[in-house]
Amino acid sequence: MNTMNHRNFFSRVWDLYYDGFRNMTLGRTLWLVILVKLFVIFVVLKLFFFPDFLSTHAEGDEAEFVSHELLNR
């Protein structure tokens, strides 16, 4: 019986969010803006402004390169 209460609780929470997202009008546009911004931040900026510095300078021995840079700076 206790498992049934948890299942009912989670199904009610799911129904609440599902119904809320289904009936949104302005919220869909705002979520689209948020998703586009996250895409730009994590994909576009990573590709163009944060190159893979470690693989180009370490040449296979990343741990030694990092320890050398940390200790000698």
* Residue 6 pLDDT > 70: no
Task: Enter the tokens of residue 64.
Answer: 């030694």
What values do phi and psi take at 51, rounded to 5?
-70, 165
Residue entry with tokens 């009610």? 12
Confidence (pTM): 0.49
Residue 65: Cβ within 10 Å count: 15
Nearest residue to 40 (alpha-carbon basis) of 29, 52, 32: 32
pLDDT digits (tens, 9 = 90+) for 21-66: 888 888 888 989 999 999 998 988 888 888 777 878 778 888 888 8
Per-domain residue ranges of the chain:
2-72
Task: Enter the tokens of residue 36.
Answer: 């586009």
